[in-house]
Structures are given as structure tokens and as C-alpha cells.
Amino acid sequence: MRLAVAHGVAWRTLHNVFTNPSLLIPSLVFPLFFFVAFAGGLSQVRNVPGFDFPLGYTAFQFVFVLLQSAAFGGVFTGFGIARDFESGFARRLLVAAPNRAGIVLGYAAAALVRWLVTAAVVTAVALLVGMQVGGSRVDLVGLYTLALLLNLAAVLWAAGVAMRLRTMQAGPVMQMPVFLILFFAPVYVPLALLQGWIHVVATANPITRVLEAGRGFLAGSPTEVGAAFAVVIGLAVGFSVWALRGLRSAEAAG
């Protein structure tokens, strides 16, 4: 029963996204745009003394953009949940669904499929512009699994917010914390090259572990793998509780 609800919600969400260019294009274009702006505009940064990533700046930035696309893919799906509540559709869904946890599952599945399309496009473009890959197939599975779990955590976070606030005006509440936690990681240079307060913040930021592990996978020299998976699994589990409680809040609101 739960899977039937999840399937219905996921199909509808994906149909909406893939038939509406204003929803589809930003989620495809934004990661590409960041990739171009960072990898193209800042490639000189690889010449900074101490920059030691072996595959070059394009590969260094690719991992960040891939993880960012995963996180924002989840947040964009959260916008759709908020829109469903604002339009009244989600309330009808709550009445009709025999198993309401399936609603959350359906949104999460839709976010995942949506991100897989984005990831395929971003990866294809990165390879076309000559990105080097040092990791084995197993390493790459590790990289994409990390991103996938981050996508799951992000959509569950955004779903929890959307179901509590039930308005499109909740958009910044979903987006801003994700933006901040991503950008307070070592985005432009390795952690060792950060100085002052940003080094302290980045060291404490759990997403730094994920980013470092992702770059390690791509380079073929895995690092901080256990910590990175612990972070994304922990976030996904924590935000599952957050999203399900959000669902209860939406049910209570009627």
C-alpha cells in the first residue's frame, strides 16, 4: 500500500517536472552554470602554492558541483511539496492516501530520479570538457552513492519544512541552510589552504568530510570514507524523522 502511494506521488511529481520547462531547466542549468563559472573562471587557482589535487581544477570543482546538484535537487523537490500544499493538492492527497508515509517516500523517489538526470548531464559535460578521472569503478560508485544519500537527506529536510510551513514562502527556509552548509565547506581550495575563521568553520562542517571523500573517490585515493558515509546516513536518518514529524504536523493542521 505504501509503495503504491509512493509510486503515484513520484510519478505525478516527475510528470510535473519533466513536462514543465520552468521547473526542469533551472535544476539542469544551475549546476552546469556553477561548474562553468567555477571550473572555467577559477582554474588559475590550481597554481596557488599548496594546491595539491592531482586531477586539476575541473575535477576538483566537479565533485562540489555534483554534491551541490544532489542537495539542491532535493530542495527543488521541496519547493514542489510546498506548492502542492499551497494549491490544496496535498490536502486532497492526505485524505486520499491510505498510507501517508508513502507520500514522503514518493517525493523522495521523485527527487532521486530528478537528480539522476541532472547528474548524468553534469557528468557528461564534465567529461566532454576533458575532466580527468583517477578513481576505479568502485570509487565512482562510492562518489555517486554519497551524492545520492545527500540528495535523500536534502529532500527529507525540505519536505519537513514544506509540510510544517505549507507555503511557497518557505522556499528560503529550505534553501538557505543548504546553501550555507555547502559553501562553508572547502569549495574553492583544499581544506589545508583555507585560513582563519573559514578554516575553523570548514573543519567543523560535516559536509567537508563528504566533499573530501568525494574528491578522494574521483582521484582514486579514497579518504575519510567512513566519516563521510556516517554523515550522509546520519543526515538522512535524522531528516527522515524530521519529515515524518512534518507529515504529522500537516495532518494535524487538516
Binding residues for another protein, rule: CB under 8 A, are: 22, 26, 29-30, 33-34, 36-37, 40-45, 47-51, 169, 172, 180, 183-184, 186-189, 193-198, 201
Q: How far is the CB of 18 from another protein (least distance, A)?
A: 19
Closer to another protein by Cβ: residue 37 or 241: 37
214 grid coordinates: 568525494
Give whichever of 100 and 164 is closer to another protein, judged by the CB atom: 164
Burial 201-228 (b: 16+ CB within 10 A, else e): ebeebebbbbbbbbbbbbbeebebbeeb
| Nearest in space to 43 (alpha carbons), one of 64, 58, 28, 23 | 58
- Phi, psi (degrees; rounded to nearest 5) at 253: -75, -20
- Measured from the CB atom, is 95 or 128 closer to another protein? 128
Q: How far is the CB of 135 from another protein (least distance, A)?
A: 24
Using the minimum distance from each CB to another protein, give the nearer residue, 34 or 85: 34
Nearer to another protein, 95 or 197 (CB): 197
- Do 108 and 8 contact (CB within 8 A), yes or no? no
Non-local (6+) Cβ contacts of 244 within 8 A are 101, 104
CB of 39 to another protein, least distance (A): 8
Interatomic CA distance for residues 147 and 60, integer angstroms: 15
Task: Report residue 194 as a C-alpha cell.
Answer: 583555507
Give 105 or 211: the residue with its C-beta nearer to another protein. 211
Give min distance, CB of 101 to another protein, in A: 32
- Phi, psi (deg, nearest 5) at residue 63: -65, -45
Q: Report, in Å, the least distance between residue 160 CB and another protein.
A: 21
**Helix residue ranges, H only, 89-170:** 89-96, 101-128, 137-165
CB 239 within 8 A of CB 156: yes
Q: Which is nearer to another protein, 48 or 120 (CB)?
A: 48
Task: Spell out where the chain has E strands.
Answer: none
Q: Provide the grid cell at 207.
A: 559536509
